[in-house]
Amino acid sequence: MDRMNKPKISFLSKNELEAIHNASLEVLENTGVKIMSDKALDILKEAGARVDYGKNHAAIPRNLVEEALKRAPKTIKYCARNPKYDFVLDKQKPHFCADGGPPFILDWETGKRRYSTSEDIARCALVADYLDHVNLLWPLGVAIDVPSPMQNIVGMYTSLRNSEKHFEGDVLSAKEAQYQIEIAAAIVGGREKLRERPIFSAVACSISPLRHEKGVTEGAIELARAGIPVVIYPMPMAGTTGPATLAGTMVISNAEFLSGLVILEFASPGAPVVYAADAGTVDFKTGIGIGSPEQSLMNLALNQLARYYNLPTEVEASCSDSKLLDTQAGYEKAISLIPHTLAAPDIILGLGALEGGRITSPEALVIDNEIIDYALRFVRGLEVDDETLAVDVINKVGPGGTFLGEKHTLKHFRERWMSRLSDIYGFEIWKKNGSKSIDKVAKEKVREILATHKPEPIPEDVEKEISQILKRAEEELLK
């Protein structure tokens, strides 16, 4: 029995969802949003919004939001270099994404925190490509060894070279988006083929509260018109860039998403848009607290809101505040990943992240893969029928007997979850095997992957074409 498509966890009633929706519409129509792009303001004005170019402001009426929600696709296909890794965002099962853009990495040899490089992105992509529960990846790092205007493009190319899975990146400008499209089109065989098989998607972050930047917005428009899925990604923080109340911060997040959706659906009707939830909280003693229960509460509730709209969803989870692969990292990741998996968003983001998303760790990625395997067992649930109730077998064995030798046991014992990474043996065997902690086991697994895993390479002629694209990008973007 496939139970993947049934959320096992929810927090809001239909009335509460409608209250957040209506509050968001009130904010959009009365307070409005700041939009730093004249191109986006032109789109909104033509659609019927009240626009003030001098103040970069737009007030968006309810009817435009309702029309945008009608236009937005309810399912989106995410393709990959290798078609066996294609999947569909259709609310049937959760998919898992390696976290993107952390500027730091725990060094492969020393374990010390340092800035990441393009070589780190390549290695992490290899690890992500190997792991069975990682369905797509952001660049696991920032290529600080290349000039800033080229970092997203290099991160994309490096990831695609070292992984056959779907790539999710950032977009910061229309020009950057054009080069991203060119690279992906070269790989799949042209722009029309890319429209049919989008092997990448892009995150377009709003700036809380209620602001859309010029470069990101115009880049998102460029991608939407090319048929590339765009993940509109608000990140309000309760108490600073959002109200102190969780519901109020959700209103900010939802209003930012809906305003972005209106821009993209009126720029390109039917544009593939994903609803992202990454609202956070602030610990007023120390700063951002990614691992907080309130963050999970808001994002689980926003996932419900996206389902209320019948839109594809992407939700942040598995991101720990810990700086090491320690007990804190383990419990924060597990208590975040398990409920989010049970809530069944289309995509869960955050694998491999530490220090609130500022550090990536390939070992953390390996451990997260194990936690996901555990969490998915909850999602599958248990079946109750004549076969599983096993009354005949119980009657046969009787009081004081054993079920070990029964055919029924042989038939069903493989249904048990079996660890692939965690140590489940007794103390003496654990000691004989080297008394290894889980981070050491994960490090050994990473080394094994890097030594043996070989994704299908990009064809040589395509590599040459991409090399020319990168050269043109450097000449234009580094002026």
CA–CA gap between residue 25 and residue 5 (Å, rounded): 29
Q: In terms of C-beta distances under 8 Å and separation of at least 24 residues, what long-range contacts does 367-370 make, across chains too?
A: 367/325, 367/330, 367/333, 367/421, 367/438, 367/439, 367/442, 368/96, 368/318, 368/333, 368/337, 369/131, 369/132, 369/133, 369/134, 369/421, 370/419, 370/420, 370/421, 370/422
Say if residue 190 is in the same domain as residue 224.
yes
Say if residue 366 is in the same domain as residue 229.
yes
Say if residue 96 is in the same domain as residue 203.
yes
Say if residue 376 is in the same domain as residue 400.
no
State which of 354, 380, 406 marks the end of a domain.
380
Domain hosting residue 391, numbered range: 386-415
pLDDT in tens, the chain (479 residues): 455 556 788 899 999 999 999 999 999 999 999 999 999 999 999 999 999 999 999 999 999 999 999 999 999 999 999 999 999 999 999 999 999 889 999 998 899 999 999 999 999 999 999 999 999 999 999 999 999 999 999 999 999 999 999 999 999 999 999 999 999 999 999 999 999 999 999 999 999 999 999 999 999 999 999 999 999 999 999 999 999 999 999 999 999 999 999 999 999 999 999 999 999 998 887 766 667 899 999 999 999 999 999 999 999 998 899 999 999 999 999 999 999 999 999 999 999 999 999 999 999 999 999 999 999 999 988 999 999 999 999 999 999 999 999 999 999 998 889 899 999 999 999 999 999 999 999 999 999 999 999 999 999 999 999 999 999 999 999 98
Say if residue 297 is in the same domain as residue 396.
no
Say if residue 336 is in the same domain as residue 355.
yes
CA–CA gap between residue 221 and residue 202 (Å, rounded): 11
Q: Can you give the CATH number for the domain in which 106 is found?
A: 3.20.20.480
Is 87 a member of any domain?
yes
Alpha-helical (H) ranges within 353-459 are: 362-380, 386-389, 391-397, 407-412, 427-432, 438-452
Say if residue 408 is in the same domain as residue 303.
no
Say if residue 239 is in the same domain as residue 308.
yes
Say if residue 351 is in the same domain as residue 397.
no
Cis status, amide bond into 147, omega within 30 of 0 = no
Pick from 166, 85, 163: nearest CA to 130: 163
Domain count of the fold of the chain: 2
Pick from 210, 190, 145: nearest CA to 462: 190
In 3-state terms, what secondary structure has residue 283? strand
3-state helix, strand, coil in the chain (%, to 5): 50, 15, 35
Is 446 a member of any domain?
no
